[in-house]
Amino acid sequence: MPTPSIDLEAEKKEILRRYRGLLRAAVHSKSRKDRKAIRKAFDISLEAHKDMRRKSGEPYIYHPISVARVVAEELGLDTTAIVCALLHDTVEDTYLTLDDVEQLFGKREREIVDGLTKMSGVFDPGTSAQAENFRKMLLTLSDDVRVILIKLADRLDNMRTLDHMRPDKQQKIASETLFMYAPLAHRLGLYSIKTELEDLSLKYKEPADYDLIQTKLRKGKAVRTRFINAFTLPIRRALDASGISCQIIGRPKSVYSIWSKMQKQRVAFEEVYDVFAIRIILDSEHEKADAWRTYSIVSDFYQPNPDRLRDWISLPKANGYESLHTTVMSPSGKWVEVQIRSKRMDEVAEKGLAAHWRYKDDSQTVASAAKEESNQSSSENLNTWLKQIREMLESGEEDALDFIDEFKLNLHNEEIYVFTPNGDLFSLPKGSTTLDFAFRVHTQIGSRCIGAKVNHKLVPLSHPLNSGDQVEIITSRKQKPKDDWLGYVITASARSKIRHALRDEERSIASDGKEKLRKWMRRKELTYSSENIESLIKRLRHDSPHALLVRIATGELELDRLGGYTVVKGKFSWMRTKKAPAQETSERSKEIADPPEKGDILLIGEGLQKIDYSHASCCNPIPGDPVFGFVMVSGGIKVHRQNCSNATNLLSKYAYRVIKAQWSSRSAKQFEVSLKFTGIDDVGLVNAVTGVISDAMNVNMRAISFNSSDGTFEGKVKVLVTNTDHLKQLQEKLLDVPGVWSVERVDEG
């Protein structure tokens, strides 16, 4: 029963208003048949979710409507996708079944909704449900990419409404988003969705940094606007005079992008020089020619940086992105990034794969042969990537976590371009080797590769390639993939093919082992049965029948030397032996400690709690840091900071092993922290710094080091502090030392 404070009439009006907004957004679903299907899906979803509410207290139906609107408006997908977005939670959360979906809408809708429905209650203990669900979702790439696109829309709406979740849930969901969903959106060319997912993740993972950057961007908006207007004025006039129709906009970089630069370059916000970019969007029939004419006009007014020219029009990125980027020097001495692209390129850049489909299907949109050719080129890049993913999916990787790690390798940002001796062009992730290239050309060529010639020079399999290299692969019929090859490649496709070949080889070896075991059992009058094999596996402490058979085939296990048994009616009867101590069990056979109960909280520093925990060395948490506990495979709990470099990986893949943790008020220990400081080198600086630490703050030092170069210095010190407030006071005191520019906490891991 709803509470009296809920205005049901107002909610009905709001639901109707949102539904009408969805219809207005569905610009590619105008026919009566399309509208009828959307209305039907809306009515079914409304009825199925009628008694459900979100954490915010709002009717649950708001969520599927919002997801469907993202699918229609921001991705521009078809009626089938909108229908499935409205139904995406019904099978998982309500009485509706997949059979109902197929009967009401069709087989394709059933398959998409099935791909969007999470699995539950089917996992073995110690299995990552997150990884299994990631895998199920990604497997649908083989059938219908719309599953991934709707899932991204679903994740986007969840991130937009994350305020109402518990803090630990916010950390888990934000980590998952940064780990998998944002890179996936980037790889599919969904720039606007990728950017918003990253920004919203940062909002919950690093709230102070997020608010700081947002505030500085807001305060500097008026200054940026004046600068952009003055900078673009001569370009506008010259383009008009040349008869090039265009739109020029200035837009700030995303909060996450600015934050990443600050972290990588170790600089403050004010020192990030490319906080915004100028975008010139051409309304042109001759995209490539007009883009270069525009570049010529820009470089007439402003000096370009020759090292910062990026031509993604001649060679589009693998996700289909096309644009011409240059960085030029403004009259005020600031570097400014200028992006030049056509309207079609801009929509593809923002909406990625969905825009490719639309341009492919809509002959009215593509008005010229040049556009068709350009769009075909970038579509081929995406199709090539999807083909590689399908090959990886078909390899049959059994472990879900390994599967996700392999897939992550396909989400590279930077690419290189290499050529065959015949001049054929291939794109590969940056860091790829000759062996990656060999498998990229063909599986058989990769499997038989013994070396390569790069730019006519002989190189090994592990040789890293650079853009522009010409590569000739050398093969031998006698060559076979080897275990150490996995260390020579970085692409998931190559790793998957190598593992597949190794498994085939192992299966052949295991087949020989099976025959040896069968003959040996016949000699010993043992029945070749699953019961006897299981008994042998248990006795020898093997993981599986396959591992046992491989050891027999290779001679590592000599069956004739096996003792401690008698044969009773064709079965093993083992003699009792002294039980091995628990410590002798292999690391592989150890089980993960039981996951914590929901709601359990680890109190760090609480002496009454008899829980084995320790502080993670990768981030060295101290009292005052937001933290979480992570249950280890070997038992015990590691305490990590929420912004630890490993946190995103742990929270996104192993949430079932995460426990909430907080500092006890009784904790009065000292904790080791590493500080890094930089500044201008001067006589007496070392004494001044050590004086602040030891005398003014009475802090114990574990280690200190200084490096001086060309008038500047960089120092590192390990100190013992009691909590984050104590650490902050020390940092402020060090910043007061003349010559010290920055003081920051650094992780050892």
**Residues with a known catalytic role:** 92-93
Sequence-distant (6+) residues with CB within 8 A of 641 are: 616, 619, 621, 625, 626, 627, 647
d(CA 376, CA 369): 10
State phi, psi for 419 to the nearest 5 degrees.
-120, 150
Give SS3 for 195. Answer: helix
Cα separations (Å) of 354 from 216, 351, 357?
Answer: 34, 6, 5
Quick check: 400 and 127 in contact, CB under 8 A? yes
d(CA 123, CA 589): 18
Count of other CB atoms within 10 angstroms of residue 553: 20
d(CA 346, CA 371): 13
List, as one string, the DSSP characters of 407-436: HHTT--S-EEEEE-TT--EEEEETT-BHHH
Quick check: 629 and 612 in contact, CB under 8 A? no
Quick check: 22 and 38 in contact, CB under 8 A? yes
List, as one string, the DSSP characters of 109-136: HHHHHHHHSPP-S-PPTT--HHHHHHHH
d(CA 259, CA 200): 13
Tell me the two tokens of residue 480. Answer: 């076979």
Quick check: 467 and 418 in contact, CB under 8 A? yes
Burial label for 169, CB within 10 Å (0-12, 13-18, 19+), is: middle
Sequence-distant (6+) residues with CB within 8 A of 182 are: 194, 197, 198, 201
d(CA 503, CA 396): 10
State phi, psi for 743 to the nearest 5 degrees.
-135, 120
Count of other CB atoms within 10 angstroms of residue 89: 23
Quick check: 468 and 414 in contact, CB under 8 A? no
Cα separations (Å) of 256 from 18, 211, 401, 463?
Answer: 30, 11, 27, 34
Quick check: 636 and 696 in contact, CB under 8 A? no
The closest alpha carbon to 533, from 521, 551, 519, belongs to: 521
Q: For residue 743, which amino acid is it?
A: V
Tell me the two tokens of residue 508. Answer: 């052949």
Sign of CA dihedral 217, 218, 219, 225: positive
The closest alpha carbon to 701, from 693, 709, 710, belongs to: 693
The closest alpha carbon to 146, from 117, 182, 176, 109, belongs to: 109
Quick check: 188 and 148 in contact, CB under 8 A? yes
Q: Quote the distance between the C-alpha of residue 419 and its chain's center.
A: 29
Q: Quote the distance between the C-alpha of residue 532 and its chain's center.
A: 45
The closest alpha carbon to 176, from 193, 155, 195, belongs to: 155
Cα separations (Å) of 90 from 41, 94, 348?
Answer: 10, 5, 32
d(CA 48, CA 176): 28
